[in-house]
């Protein structure tokens, strides 16, 4: 399991717009690069990123090879209730990695 760094504020006021930053460790091999043997290195990229907040999808993204290795994605959401944010990254082979973060809303 690759490592992900997630930055979610631990506490927020109800209705506050919070910024979430995510960094997933992944090579994002484009599939356009020849390797040492002259053959193209097969594509290995994260294609889909989804963030759910207490089960509801609040943000998602579709990524292409132009996104850097260790893809960084930052976005915002409204702090509605205390609970769990679930982040998932799915690669082009269909493997999904999941991380969670919790938030306290006052």
Q: How far is the CB of 9 from another protein (least distance, A)?
A: 13
Q: Which residues contact 25 (CB under 8 A, 6 or more apart)?
A: 2, 3, 4, 70
Which of the residues 73 through 92 are near another protein (CB under 8 A)? Answer: 73-78, 80
Contacts of 62 (CB under 8 A, 6+ apart): 47, 48
Q: Please tell me the number of Cα atoms within 13 Å of 81 on its side-chain side.
A: 7
Binding test (CB under 8 A) with another protein, winner from 30, 92, 97, 99: 30
Give the phi and the psi of residue 23 in degrees, each rounded to 5. Answer: -135, 120
Q: How far is the CB of 72 from another protein (least distance, A)?
A: 5
Residue selected from 1, 13, 55, 62 as contacting another protein according to rule CB under 8 A: 62
Interacting residues toward another protein by CB under 8 A: 17-19, 21, 30, 32-34, 36, 38, 40, 53, 56-69, 71-78, 80
């Amino acid at each position: 399991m690759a490592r992900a760094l997630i930055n979610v504020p631990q506490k927020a006021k109800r209705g506050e717009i919070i910024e979430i930053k995510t960094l997933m460790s992944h090579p994002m091999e484009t599939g356009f690069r020849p390797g040492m043997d002259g053959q193209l290195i097969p594509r290995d990229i994260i294609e889909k990123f989804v963030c759910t907040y207490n089960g509801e999808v609040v943000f998602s993204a579709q990524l292409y090879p132009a996104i850097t290795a260790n893809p960084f994605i930052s976005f915002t959401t409204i702090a509605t209730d205390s609970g769990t944010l679930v982040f998932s990254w799915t690669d082009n082979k269909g493997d999904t990695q999941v991380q969670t973060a919790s938030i306290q809303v006052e």
